[in-house]
Amino acid sequence: MPFVRIDALGADSERLDALGRAVHDALVETIGIPPDDRFQVLVGHDGTSSTLRYDDYLGVHRDHGIVYVAITMRSGRTPAQKQALYRRIAELAHAYAGTQPRNVFVTVTENESIDWSLGNGAAQYAPSPDTANPLSSTAPVS
């Protein structure tokens, strides 16, 4: 159940769609997200008055093709899975949207099941109150 936000400089709706597909396909392929589990915010920024800023950092040269991908998901993936995810996002962003891999900046933020409400004001992934604390029953505790 990842939540993805993609901000891209100079991106029209076609490029944003391609980037969204690239990230989703990479999530499905590398960490097993179900194909119908897509929740994304796609934002294009124009090149003249853009609020996106970037520098060359750690030897990575970036340009006006910069794409920021922020993924929020439940914790539990291994470092190897995350590295495969980053690599695949960069590959697919290049294949689908023509974005140079050096311009794909990805960050992952992890949280716990209780941190999600998927609608109706409910915490669907949280344990039910009856199973959350086995000592909360009315039976005497021995």
17 and 38 in contact (C-beta within 8 Å)? no
**pLDDT bracket for residue 53 (50, 70, 90):** confident
- Over residues 75-94, the pLDDT tens digits come to 999 999 999 999 999 999 99
pTM of the model: 0.84
Cα dihedral value 45, 57, 17, 112, nearest 10? -110
pLDDT at 69 over 60: yes
Mean pLDDT along residues 65-77: 95
2: annotated active-site residue: yes
pLDDT at 65 over 80: yes
Question: Which one of 2, 79, 101, 140 is the catalytic residue?
Answer: 2
Choose between 11 and 134: higher pLDDT: 11
- For the chain, list the domains and their CATH numbers: 3-115+123-136 (3.30.429.10)
